[in-house]
Chain A
Amino acid sequence: MPADHLSEALARLTALVEQRCGLGREIQRARLLAFLGTAPAIEQAMLADRLTHADAETPGWTSLVESLLVHETYFYRHPDQLAVFAREILPEITRTHGAAPLQIWCAGCATGEEAYTLAFLLRDAGCAARVLATDLSPESIAVARAARYRRSLGLGSFREMPPAAWRHFEPVAGEGDAFSVAPGIRGTVEFAVHNLMRPHPPGFAADVISCRNTLLYFGESGCRQAEATLVAAARPGTILLLGPAERLRHTDVFVPMTRSNPQILHWPRAGGG
Chain B
Amino acid sequence: MSTAASVSSLPPGTTDLAPARLSRSLKLGTRIYGLSAGLILIVAVIAAIGYVGLERQGNALLDYIRVSQATEGTLRFGWEFTRVRRHMANFVSDGSPVEARFIPEHNQIAGEQIAQVASRIGNQERKVLVDEIGAEFRKFVRASDEVIALRNGLTQAQAAFSEADTDIATPQPGDSDAAARLRAALAIVQSQASLMGSTISVAVHQGYMRAAPAATAALAALPPGDAPRLQATAPAFLERAARLATAHERLRQGVETGFNEMANRLDALLLTLIERQQAFADQVAAQAADASDAIQRWMLIVAAASSLLGILLCIFVVRGIIPPLRAMTRAMVRLSAGDASITVNGSDRGDEIGDMARALDVFRRNADKIVAMMSAEAVTLEIGETITAAARHDLTVRVDLANKSGFLRDIGVAINALLQGSSDTLRDIGQSTRQVASAVAEANVAIGQVSGGARSQNTAIGQVTQALAESAKAIRMVSTSANAASEKGVMAAHMVERGQVSAEQLARTVETIAQNSRKISQITQVIAGIANRTHILSLNAAIEAARAGEHGKGFVVVAQEVGKLAESAAQNAQQITDIVEQATADAALGRTASLAVKETMDSIAGDVSQTSQMIRSIAVAMEEQQATVTQIEANVVDLRGIASGNAVAAEEITATMIQLSLLADEQRQRLETFKTS
A residues in contact (CB < 8 Å) with B: 24, 26-27, 30-31, 34, 70-72, 150, 152-156, 213, 216-217, 243-247
Chain A: CB-nearest residue to B641? A152
Q: How far is the CB of B658 from chain A (nearest CB, A)?
A: 6
Cβ-defined contact, A216 with B656, below 8 A: yes
Task: Using known A-B contacts A30-B451, A244-B656, determine if residue A72 contacts B642 with beta carbons closer than 8 Å.
Answer: no
From B141-149, B342-350, B647-655, the one touching the partner chain is B647-655
Partner of A154, one of B641, B654, B656: B641
Contacts of A24 in B (CB 8 A): 655, 658
DSSP majority for the A interface?
loop
B421 at the interface (CB under 8 A from A): no
29 contacts between A and B (CB under 8 A): A24-B658, A26-B658, A27-B655, A30-B448, A30-B651, A34-B455, A70-B652, A72-B648, A72-B651, A72-B652, A150-B641, A152-B638, A152-B642, A152-B645, A154-B643, A155-B642, A155-B648, A156-B641, A156-B645, A213-B655, A216-B658, A216-B659, A217-B655, A244-B656, A245-B655, A245-B659, A245-B663, A246-B659, A247-B659
Q: Which 3 A-B pairs have the closest CB atoms?
A: A154-B642, A155-B645, A72-B652
Contacts of B659 in A (CB 8 A): 216, 245-247
Chain B: CB-nearest residue to A37? B459
Q: How far is the CA of A152 from the CA of B656 in the complex (A)?
A: 24
Further pairs besides A72-B648, A154-B643, A155-B648: 7, Cβ < 8 Å: A70-B652, A155-B642, A155-B645, A156-B641, A213-B655, A244-B656, A245-B663
B75 at the interface (CB under 8 A from A): no
Contacts of A71 in B (CB 8 A): 648
Contacts of B638 in A (CB 8 A): 152-153
Contacts of A213 in B (CB 8 A): 652, 655-656
DSSP majority for the B interface?
helix
Chain B: CB-nearest residue to A246? B659
Interface size on B, residues (CB 8 A): 22
Q: How far is the CB of A121 from chain B (nearest CB, A)?
A: 22
Cβ-defined contact, B646 with A154, below 8 A: yes
B39 at the interface (CB under 8 A from A): no
* B615-663 interface with A by 8 A CB criterion: 638, 641-643, 645-646, 648-649, 651-652, 654-656, 658-660, 663
B19 at the interface (CB under 8 A from A): no
Q: Which of B649, B654, B655 has most chain A Cβ within 10 Å?
A: B655
Q: How far is the CB of B80 from chain A (nearest CB, A)?
A: 115
Contacts of A154 in B (CB 8 A): 641-643, 645-646
Q: How far is the CA of A216 from the CA of B662 in the complex (A)?
A: 11
Q: How far is the CA of A71 from the CA of B654 in the complex (A)?
A: 13
Q: How far is the CA of A40 from the CA of B316 in the complex (A)?
A: 120
Partner of A27, one of B642, B654, B660, B663: B654
B384 at the interface (CB under 8 A from A): no
Q: How far is the CA of A129 from the CA of B293 in the complex (A)?
A: 125
B228 at the interface (CB under 8 A from A): no
